[in-house]
Amino acid sequence: MANCPACEAELLDDDYTDMEVGDQVDCPECEELIQISGLSPLDFELASDDEDDEDDEDEVHDLDDEEEDEEDLDQ
């Protein structure tokens, strides 16, 4: 068992047996994007594409799939 690095929710190993280190998943509790950093034991870290400002921009960037409402603002 591992814990979400964002909300400390318990994440069951059985849910991630097909995953590999580096795979990114959404925490089922807080929906934060987290990344598998180890498999034995299972461990997670916060996923971040941006190495520069780790704390500031996590929630601003990776929303491409979910920002359906804002694409037509120019018209």
When binding is defined by CB under 5 A, the residue of 2, 6, 36, 47 that contacts Zn ion is 6
Angstrom distance (rounded) from CA 23 to CA 37:
8
Measured from the CB atom, the residue of 28 and 53 that comes closer to Zn ion is 28
Residues 23-52 vs Zn ion: string with x where CB under 5 A?
A: ----x-xx-x--------------------
Structure tokens at 58: 């996590």
Q: Which DSSP state fits 54?
A: T
Cβ–Cβ under 8 Å, residues 13 and 42: yes
Contacting residues toward Zn ion, per CB under 5 A: 4, 6-7, 9, 27, 29-30, 32
